[in-house]
Amino acid sequence: MVRRTKAEAETTRHQILDAAEREFLARGVAHTRLQDVAVAAGVTRGAIYWHFEDKAALFNAMMERAFLPCEAGECPGCPPADDPLGRLMRQATWPLRVLAENEQVQRVFRIAMHQTEYTEELASVQQRYLEGINQFRDDLQAQLEVASQAGLLRPGLSLKAVALGLFALVDGLMHHWTLQPGGFDLVECGDAAVKAYVNGLRAAPGTTAAAPDAPAPAPRARRSRPAPST
């Protein structure tokens, strides 16, 4: 048997993961066989088993090398700290830009949201998704608190509920867009929708600042973002 170098083995592994992305997206995770992935990757089933114990391990590895939109981290080019509502809007729409501009993020998000039945074997991926959106929602709430303390929001708002509503708006846009890519401009529509939502929260001129209802949770440790594969 010809011994493969570490570099060759890593190349084969990425071939398999690339093929898994395509097949899971086209067929759904439940209906994709390892033989389908092997054919698409141009390798044998044995090569797949050499790298991955089973389909669940392959799926988990595929998800681990990518990131989801709400895991994209700090947005570059945010407005300065003295514009908290501008920062909030940019922060809220950053996942939309990441999704619209990165084809691998699109594939993985569509697989995770539309093509996967989360059995016990795949629970770790679902848990990771929940942790990512919880962190994103906490970040929105923290920015809302800054705006509230600056007297920019209407008094009496539940900042936790407002953050949840803003997240639901962004998440709904991402889900709908990935069901029909190209059906609308995700970034343009997202910017307009988030701006309208935030404008509805603004304090009337002359309103004094009100204390926030509750402090945002302490920031969680962020998952390190892998380099995207195109």
Report pLDDT digits (tens) over 103-152: 999 999 999 889 888 888 888 888 888 999 999 999 999 999 999 999 99
User: How far is residue 48's CA from residue 18's CA, in Å, rounded to a whole number?
Assistant: 12
Q: Do the beta carbons of residue 144 and residue 58 sit within 8 Å? A: no
- Using CA atoms, how far apart are residues 168 and 201, in angstroms rounded to an integer? 16
What's the CA gap between 91 and 77, in Å, rounded?
Answer: 10
What number is the average pLDDT over the span 197-226?
66
* Ramachandran angles phi, psi of 153, nearest 5°: -110, 155
Q: Tell me the pLDDT band of 1, cut-offs 50, 70 and 90.
A: very low
Give residue 217's pLDDT band: very low, low, confident or very high (50, 70, 90).
low
> Residues near 81 by Cβ (< 8 Å), separated by ≥ 6?
87, 146
Q: State the pLDDT confidence band at 82, using cuts at 50, 70 and 90.
A: confident
Predicted pLDDT of residue 196: 98
> Would the pTM of this model clear 0.85, i.e. be above it?
no
For residue 229, pLDDT over 60 is answered with no
Provide the residue count of the chain: 230
37, 58 contact by CB (below 8 A): yes
On whether the CB atoms of residues 145 and 159 are closer than 8 A, the answer is yes
